[in-house]
């Protein structure tokens, strides 16, 4: 019989040096209800707070089951206060409401498995006046201030009070053209020098003026239905073009192509390089054409008439490609956005008072704003997404709008008659307005392209009141 060696088993009280980590893990799982980690404290589940560690005293709420209904009422009242203001707090007393509001931002009520180290103040929908360390607040940008008074006023004797005329335009060379009675005057915005360009004579009258996009050519529409082209740099008339049977109240340039709209309901397209007086005739309006504007890409022409219609034409059409009939009064005010292709703004007369926005690319009506007054003119800022409207009956105001919210940045007053004429400076910062009160007023309304705080050179150097004649 072989001898056998018996190895005694270790005592239960003495841990074996050969006990594996796997065995310790199994033992921990078996006794998990009694095991406590020495390195951290577990409060509760990540979604369910522990009552013993939660700080209900912040809300003056007892965590015992018999007071749960009161706790729910107090919490609901506090929530109403945060959402709807102190008057909606209901049954919570003012003293308790103040104490609760003061303690909420500083500490957490509930305790979970892991403490939140980052301040929750940055996540609050209702910002407190208190400054919390470690939280960066972006300063609220102050709204841009627009001067409520003109920096210059020019007397303009015989400036007509006629809604259907367009007697003021500002060239790319910083020269203002103004039709006064039967004469056209030029005012140089850099030197303030006034030049008399032409006199049509006692039997004729200036009904519209329009500068070419580049160069020194000025178109003049007359009450006899003629369109004259002048070289303003030499004060010399280049040619006279006919076609209209009645006065020409609207002009718009597209490169070398000039469009003219008249009281005879027609629009004529004129190429000043051609021998003919006009290359095409656009028919569609049932009353006087009083508004004309080419788009910035020179592909679309918008026209407005006394028939309450807004039409859009392309370069080759003799019939409108788009027709908008929502206005209920004459459409003189027309402006294309320089920021978004196909965005067109139009304004209606006294019976309408609305500014409407259209997308000519999708042929859709975007929005409408009731201004409360006759809309006489519209012009879009080149530097920011804003526009200006001038008005007649009954408030005679000038409004600067932010698009697309159509919130008012400024309302400018000063004219005592309808603000029938509007033009914008070549740098896009200054507008000039004209009215039947025989004044031209210059306003700094838009920021410069580079800085929203820099003043235009025109406004800084041209103060006071003079006459344009």
Coil/strand/helix, residue 349: coil
Torsion of the alpha carbons at 268, 272, 273 and 275, rounded to the nearest 10: 70
At 8 the pLDDT is 42
pLDDT tens over the chain, length 469 residues: 444 444 444 444 444 444 445 555 545 544 545 445 555 555 556 666 666 666 666 555 554 555 556 667 777 877 777 777 666 555 445 555 455 444 444 456 666 555 444 444 444 444 444 444 554 555 656 778 899 999 999 999 999 999 999 999 999 999 999 999 999 999 999 999 999 999 999 999 999 999 999 889 999 999 999 999 999 999 999 999 999 999 999 999 998 899 999 999 999 999 999 999 999 999 999 999 999 999 999 999 999 999 999 999 998 889 999 999 999 999 999 999 999 999 999 999 999 999 999 999 999 999 999 999 999 999 999 999 999 999 999 899 999 999 999 999 999 999 999 999 999 999 999 999 999 999 999 999 999 887 544 444 444 444 557 777 7
The count of other CB atoms within 10 Å of the CB of residue 167 is 24
Sheet strands side by side (includes 267-271) = 248-254, 257-262, 267-271, 280-282
Place of tokens 């012009």: 379
Is residue 406 left, alpha or beta, with left meaning phi > 0 and alpha meaning psi from -120 to 50?
A: left
Name every residue whose Cβ is closer than 8 Å to that of residue 259 and which is 6 or more positions away in sequence: 251, 252, 253, 267, 268, 269, 270, 292, 294, 301
d(CA 86, CA 92): 10
Place of tokens 């939660």: 54
Q: Count of CB atoms within 10 A of residue 91's CB? A: 10
User: In angstroms, rounded to a whole number, what is the distance separating the alpha carbons of residues 258 and 243?
Assistant: 13
State how far the Cα of 152 lies from the Cα of 82, in Å rounded to an integer.
50
| Class at the top of the CATH hierarchy for domain 152-448 | mainly beta
Residue 196 pLDDT: 97
């Amino acid at each position: 019989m072989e001898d056998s060696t018996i190895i005694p088993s270790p005592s239960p009280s003495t841990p074996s040096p050969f006990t594996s980590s796997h065995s310790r893990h199994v033992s921990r799982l078996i006794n998990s209800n009694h095991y406590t980690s020495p390195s951290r404290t577990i409060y509760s589940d990540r979604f369910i707070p522990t009552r013993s560690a939660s700080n209900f005293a912040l809300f003056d709420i007892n965590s015992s089951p018999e007071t749960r209904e009161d706790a729910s009422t107090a919490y609901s009242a506090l929530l109403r206060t945060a959402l709807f203001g102190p008057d909606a707090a209901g049954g919570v007393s003012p003293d308790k409401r103040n104490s609760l509001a003061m303690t909420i931002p500083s500490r957490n009520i509930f305790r979970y498995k892991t403490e939140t180290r980052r301040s929750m103040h940055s996540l609050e929908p209702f910002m407190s006046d208190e400054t919390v360390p470690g939280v960066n607040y972006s300063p609220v940008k102050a709204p841009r201030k627009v001067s409520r008074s003109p920096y210059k006023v020019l007397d303009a004797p015989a400036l007509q009070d006629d809604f259907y005329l367009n007697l003021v335009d500002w060239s790319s060379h910083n020269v203002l053209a103004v039709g006064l009675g039967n004469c056209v005057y030029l005012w140089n915005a850099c030197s303030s020098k006034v030049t008399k360009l032409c006199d049509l004579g006692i039997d004729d009258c200036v009904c519209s003026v329009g500068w070419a996009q580049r160069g020194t050519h000025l178109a003049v529409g007359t009450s006899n239905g003629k369109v004259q082209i002048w070289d303003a740099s030499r004060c010399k008339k280049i040619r006279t073009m006919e076609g209209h049977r009645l006065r020409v109240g609207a002009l718009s340039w597209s490169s070398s192509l000039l469009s003219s709209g008249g009281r005879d309901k027609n629009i004529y397209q004129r190429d000043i390089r051609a021998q003919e007086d006009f290359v095409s005739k656009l028919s569609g309006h049932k009353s006087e054409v009083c508004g004309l504007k080419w788009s910035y890409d020179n592909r679309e022409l918008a026209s407005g008439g006394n028939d309450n219609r807004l039409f859009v034409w392309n370069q080759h059409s003799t019939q409108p490609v788009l027709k908008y009939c929502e206005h209920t009064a004459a459409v003189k005010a027309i402006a294309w956005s320089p920021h978004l292709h196909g965005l067109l703004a139009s304004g209606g007369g006294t019976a309408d008072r609305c500014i409407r926005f259209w997308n000519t690319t999708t042929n859709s009506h975007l929005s409408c704003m009731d201004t409360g007054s006759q809309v006489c003119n519209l012009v879009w800022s080149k530097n920011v997404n804003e526009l200006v409207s001038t008005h007649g009956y009954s408030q005679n105001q000038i409004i600067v709008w932010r698009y697309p919210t159509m919130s008012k940045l400024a309302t400018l007053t000063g004219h005592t008659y309808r603000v029938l004429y509007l033009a914008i400076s070549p740098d896009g910062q200054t507008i000039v307005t004209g009215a039947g009160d025989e004044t031209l007023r210059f306003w700094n309304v838009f920021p410069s392209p580079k800085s929203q705080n820099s003043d235009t050179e025109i406004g800084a150097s041209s103060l006071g009141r003079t006459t344009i004649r």
